[in-house]
Amino acid sequence: MNVEKVKQALSKVNDPELQKDLVSLNMVRDIKIDGDKLSLTVMLTTPACPLKALIEEECTKALVAIGFKPENIKINMTGEVRQHNIQGKEGPKGISQIIAISSGKGGVGKTTVSVNIAIALSQAGARVGLLDADITGPNIPIMMGSQDPPIVENGKIIPKENYGIKYISMGVLVPPDQPVVWRGPMLDGVIKQFLRDVVWGELDYLIVDLPPGTGDAQLTICQAVPLAGGVIVTTPQDVALLDSKKSINMFKQMKVSILGIVENMSFFICPKCNERTEIFSCGGGENAANTFGVPFLGRIPIELEVRIGGDSGKPITAINPEHPISKTFKEVAGQIAASASVTTFNVRQPVVMI
């Protein structure tokens, strides 16, 4: 048995999303053979890869086929997020992928999704930041549990940190009851400052929570940085879907990859009788994704604890990671990360549905 034979076996295992084998993708590392024992690392494109377990299983099968016993195989499944490069656009140093969360209309749960998927990505092992680009209606500080101002050092803002997430928001720079009454160019300036003058450090993902619609903040983000892609959050009813079409067209016009659609508030399960009610109907997000030819990233039900977690600054994914809805957020986060990996590899293929 030797390293070459192991590589040969693993060159038959594909990353289902990138549709290439693990060896050509340079994902197989640190192969160590000690008698009949084998250990190796599989370096995926994101620690949040939703197909981690499946790929591990396929690797084990391939290695058993060349004579290793399953109990003698040790695979360290991990991931490193690759830098998303767009020619002619430079993002903040040290940030691998910037992902914008958008919606056609307000109140559909953009901020809720941004916060919970940021936490889910961090729980999967990624380094994550959260930028609140909703300058006039900043909700990130409430949902992240602290509205106190950040420290400023040598003209640079040290981002706030909670639940393992670094974050910045206009809501920590102005008193909570003060309105921010600003014109477009001023919004542009502060968003650029949030990108360039905040000490983000090394991040795998910077999640950007956009205001609703297709205005100045969206333009600034799309133009200023090499976005890995945009996610559209919608509720399932027709009026929200109609608005999300505008978001999709905006990203298309700005030549930003669309990572997919998340359907929020899909249904409600009564905690007393378990009856399922589709308050805003259900399935519209997936239909829209199919119609527009973009990935569907999953559906999130209406859940009392999500709302309470948001209002109290204790996001459910952080406080109760074993709750079924936290698992749903983890699945959606995995789909978003996978879609961003595919975009970064520039080999867009349909992303596996949940």
Residues that bind Mg ion (CB under 5 A): 110-111, 139
22 Cβ contact list (under 8 Å, min separation 6): 10, 11, 13, 14, 15, 28, 42, 55, 59
> Residue ranges of the alpha helices (H) in the chain?
3-10, 52-65, 110-123, 140-144, 184-196, 216-224, 238-253, 284-292, 304-311, 316-319, 324-345
Site track 277-316 with ligand ADP (rule: CB under 6 A), x = hit: -----------------------x-xx--xx--x------
Q: Which range touches ligand ADP (CB under 6 A), out of 44-52, 107-115, 276-284, 289-297? A: 107-115
In the complex, minimum distance from the CB of residue 191 to ligand ADP, in angstroms, rounded to a whole number: 16
In the complex, minimum distance from the CB of residue 177 to ligand ADP, in angstroms, rounded to a whole number: 18
In the complex, minimum distance from the CB of residue 105 to Mg ion, in angstroms, rounded to a whole number: 11
Q: What is the DSSP letter of 172?
A: G
The residue number whose beta carbon is nearest to Mg ion equals 111
Establish if 330 lies at the interface with ligand ADP (CB under 6 A).
Answer: no
Q: Which of 1, 74, 83, 107 binds ligand ADP (CB under 6 A)?
A: 107
Tokens of 139: 């909700």
In the complex, minimum distance from the CB of residue 311 to Mg ion, in angstroms, rounded to a whole number: 13
Q: Residue 12 and residue 14: Cα distance in Å, rounded?
A: 6
Radius of gyration of the chain (CA): 21
Establish if 206 lies at the interface with ligand ADP (CB under 6 A).
Answer: no
> Considering all CA atoms of the chain, what is the largest pairwise distance in Å, rounded to the nearest integer?
70
Given Mg ion, ligand ADP, none, residue 103, with its beta carbon under 5 to 8 Å by kind, binds ligand ADP
What is the amino acid identity at position 173? L
Q: Residue 131 and residue 170: Cα distance in Å, rounded?
A: 10
Establish if 214 lies at the interface with ligand ADP (CB under 6 A).
Answer: no
Site track 108-127 with ligand ADP (rule: CB under 6 A), x = hit: xxxxx---------------
Give the binding site for ligand ADP (CB under 6 A). Answer: 103, 106-112, 139, 264-265, 300, 302-303, 306-307, 310
